[in-house]
């Protein structure tokens, strides 16, 4: 009874803070530019806060945490290192992105390549990908709320639906204001999570010693034992083959580097200098956060060597096990951190879905609609539609958040990455090059993704489909440049 009351209190406090912070964003929104890109006015504090909060999703805690518990440090090589490399690449795009007077990311292809086809296609890809990715956030929120308030999963996802709709309705200013709060909550919750686990292991050194000696099944019904020393090995002593780890770079790494949600943060900053600071400062803060996620999750494994079957879904491992050993107030803060991570990623992507749907798909058919209040209301209506679709899809959520997320980001690396980054090296890239690159990479990715589910060849199953997708996309761009040059 006391535990339920404590959890409810934490949730109510978080709800009050999120309503208050988001409400102030409504008053800053006066026109379409405010709604879409915060009129390019975001300072270093808000830019960094929204970058971190958008980055840190349910997959960063639930999916990654479960992988760390099962496979140890190799999970960081699979996901965190590619993520950081992708963020580093964003630094080189700042000048190109900010030179364009654009409100949405797909509009970049119209301005740079004079290609309505690419604008439309990239918008469709982005919208579909984000709707699928939001289901991950709703799943994370729903799982945690079910544990936090002891309510059914279906009721929990209705709550997150209301959260993301409310925090998105005010446009980017509202999202950014809530992101500043969510970044603080995420940092505090994971700091406490990691610190508690390290202290339970009697220090960081003892944690590493214990991790090096783990040789049990991670879950009681798991197929393979963790080899001794595997938790601290980059490839988990063979359980995570090098080709699987390295090829994931083309999903998570290049996918993040071409992800519109981060590029919009670059555009919305008040200057190029601020955009650079945003990325650098974010990576510093994220390094600290991931330290506690990584060693908190591995340290949890040393405390509970084998999880029972009662954990249910694999993504539920960390909160379920942590709840067994931590005091209620510590568990409550940790669970609120997962909620903050879910909301902050979902509302960002929901806003991009709506604004791109209007700006890149619908606007050309409604040229007479020029009243800004009408446009804002249309976008709010689209937010409601996209949020509802995502909620319905989350009734049957993906089984593995970290792999599911990597596959979605791989779509960006296979279709968008090459045409986007080619603008750094070629002053006047050709339209045909970008279009061949985009579609050849996308079709290769989808073909390979489907083929992997049917093939019995182990090697092909271990290769991330982003790798062949990227290679074909790059070749397609080069072919397009050669064809165009020969015509001249």
Domains of the chain by residue range: 2-408
Give the residue with greater pLDDT, 314 vs 450.
Answer: 450
Instruction: Give the pLDDT confidence score for residue 355 in this predicted structure.
Output: 94
Q: What span, in angstroms and rounded, lies between the C-alpha atoms of 465 and 150?
A: 39
CATH architecture of the domain 2-408 equals Up-down Bundle (1.20)
As a whole number, mean pLDDT of residues 40-63 equals: 91
Residue 297 in this model has a pLDDT that exceeds 80 = yes
Instruction: Give the pLDDT confidence score for residue 210 in this predicted structure.
Output: 96
Average pLDDT, whole number, for the chain? 89
Q: Name the percent of the chain lying above pLDDT 70.
A: 96
Record the pTM: 0.92
Instruction: Give the pLDDT confidence score for residue 172 in this predicted structure.
Output: 92
Residue 312 in this model has a pLDDT that exceeds 60 = no
Q: What span, in angstroms and rounded, lies between the C-alpha atoms of 267 and 171?
A: 15
Residues with Cβ < 8 Å from 369, sequence gap 6 or more? 363, 375, 378
In three-state form (DSSP H/G/I as H, E/B as E, the rest C), the secondary structure along 275-294 is HHHHHHHHHHHHHHHHHHHH
User: Would you say 300 and 322 are in contact if contact means Cβ atoms under 8 Å apart?
Assistant: yes
Q: How confident is the model at residue 398 (pLDDT cuts 50, 70, 90)?
A: low
Instruction: Give the pLDDT confidence score for residue 153 in this predicted structure.
Output: 79
Please report how many Cα atoms fall inside a 13 Å half-sphere around the Cα of residue 20, on the Cβ side. Answer: 7
Residue 205 in this model has a pLDDT that exceeds 90 = yes
Q: What are phi and psi of 42, to 5 degrees?
A: -75, 125
Give the residue with greater pLDDT, 315 vs 230.
Answer: 230
Q: What span, in angstroms and rounded, lies between the C-alpha atoms of 395 and 199?
A: 38
Q: What span, in angstroms and rounded, lies between the C-alpha atoms of 344 and 117?
A: 31
Instruction: Give the pLDDT confidence score for residue 421 in this predicted structure.
Output: 95
Residue 311 in this model has a pLDDT that exceeds 60 = no
As a whole number, mean pLDDT of residues 155-162 equals: 80
Q: Which of 20-24, 147-151, 413-417 has the highest mean pLDDT?
A: 413-417
Instruction: Give the pLDDT confidence score for residue 397 in this predicted structure.
Output: 67
Among candidate residues 268, 241, 238, 290, the one with its CA nearest the CA of residue 459: 241
Instruction: Give the pLDDT confidence score for residue 354 in this predicted structure.
Output: 93
54-112: per-residue pLDDT in tens? 998 887 888 899 999 999 999 999 889 999 999 999 999 999 899 888 999 999 999 99
Q: What span, in angstroms and rounded, lies between the C-alpha atoms of 131 and 394?
A: 10
Instruction: Give the pLDDT confidence score for residue 70 in this predicted structure.
Output: 93
Residue 147 in this model has a pLDDT that exceeds 80 = no
Both tokens of 135, joined, read 């289901």
Both tokens of 265, joined, read 């943060």
Q: What span, in angstroms and rounded, lies between the C-alpha atoms of 197 and 203?
A: 9
Residue 5 in this model has a pLDDT that exceeds 80 = no
Give the residue with greater pLDDT, 400 vs 129.
Answer: 129
Instruction: Give the pLDDT confidence score for residue 367 in this predicted structure.
Output: 77
Q: How confident is the model at residue 438 (pLDDT cuts 50, 70, 90)?
A: very high
Q: Is 202 left (phi over 0), alpha (psi -120 to 50) or beta?
A: left
Residue 231 in this model has a pLDDT that exceeds 70 = yes
Element (H, E) at 334: helix 328-356
441-475: per-residue pLDDT in tens? 999 999 998 888 787 777 778 888 999 999 999 99
Instruction: Give the pLDDT confidence score for residue 443 in this predicted structure.
Output: 96
Instruction: Give the pLDDT confidence score for residue 163 in this predicted structure.
Output: 81
Q: Name the percent of the chain lying above pLDDT 90.
A: 56
In three-state form (DSSP H/G/I as H, E/B as E, the rest C), the secondary structure along 439-479 is HHHHHHHHHHHHHHCCCCCHHHHHCCCHHHHHHHHHHHHHH
Give the residue with greater pLDDT, 113 vs 140.
Answer: 113
Cα angle 464-293-76, degrees, rounded to a multiple of 5: 30
């Amino acid at each position: 009874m006391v535990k339920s009351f404590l959890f409810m209190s934490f949730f109510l406090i978080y709800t009050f803070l999120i309503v208050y912070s988001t409400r102030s964003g409504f008053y800053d929104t006066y026109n379409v530019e405010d709604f879409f890109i915060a009129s390019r006015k975001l300072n270093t504090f808000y830019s960094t806060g929204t970058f971190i909060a958008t980055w840190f999703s349910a997959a960063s805690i639930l999916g990654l945490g479960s992988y760390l518990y099962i496979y140890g440090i190799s999970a960081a090589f699979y996901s965190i290192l590619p993520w950081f490399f992708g963020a580093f690449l964003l630094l080189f795009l700042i000048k190109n992105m900010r030179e364009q007077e654009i409100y949405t990311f797909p509009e970049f292809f119209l301005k740079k390549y004079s290609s309505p086809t690419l604008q439309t296609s990239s918008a469709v890809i982005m919208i579909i990908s984000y709707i699928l990715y939001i289901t991950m956030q709703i799943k994370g929120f729903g799982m945690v709320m079910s544990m936090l308030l002891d309510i059914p999963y279906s009721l929990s996802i209705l709550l997150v639906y209301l959260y993301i709709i409310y925090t998105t309705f005010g446009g980017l200013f509202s999202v950014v204001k809530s992101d500043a709060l969510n970044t603080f909550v995420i940092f505090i919750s994971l700091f406490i999570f990691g610190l508690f686990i390290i202290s339970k292991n009697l220090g960081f050194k003892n944690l590493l010693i214990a991790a090096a000696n783990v040789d049990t099944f991670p879950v009681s019904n798991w197929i393979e034992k963790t080899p001794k020393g595997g938790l601290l090995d980059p490839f988990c002593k063979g359980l995570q083959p090098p080709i699987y780890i390295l090829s994931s770079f083309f999903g998570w790494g290049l996918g993040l580097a071409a992800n519109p949600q981060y590029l919009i943060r670059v555009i919305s900053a008040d200057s190029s200098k601020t955009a650079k600071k945003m990325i650098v400062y974010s990576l510093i803060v994220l390094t600290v956060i991931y330290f506690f996620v990584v060693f908190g999750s591995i340290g949890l494994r040393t405390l509970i060597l084998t999880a029972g079957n009662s954990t249910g879904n694999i993504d539920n491992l960390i909160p379920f096990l942590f709840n067994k050993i931590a005091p209620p107030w510590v568990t409550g803060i940790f669970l609120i951190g997962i909620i903050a991570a879910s909301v902050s990623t979902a509302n960002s992507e929901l806003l991009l879905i709506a604004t791109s749907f209007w700006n890149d798909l619908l606007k050309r058919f409604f040229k007479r609609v020029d009243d800004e209040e009408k446009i804002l209301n249309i976008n709010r209506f689209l937010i409601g539609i996209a949020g509802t679709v995502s909620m319905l899809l989350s009734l049957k959520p993906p089984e593995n958040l970290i792999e599911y997320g990597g596959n979605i980001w791989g779509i960006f690396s296979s279709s968008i990455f090459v045409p986007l980054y080619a603008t750094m090296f070629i002053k006047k890239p050709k339209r045909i090059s970008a279009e061949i690159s985009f579609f050849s990479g996308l079709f290769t990715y989808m073909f390979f993704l489907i083929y992997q589910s049917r093939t019995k060849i182990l090697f092909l199953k271990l290769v991330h489909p982003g790798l062949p997708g990227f290679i074909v996309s790059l070749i397609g761009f080069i072919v397009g440049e050669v064809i165009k040059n020969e015509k001249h």
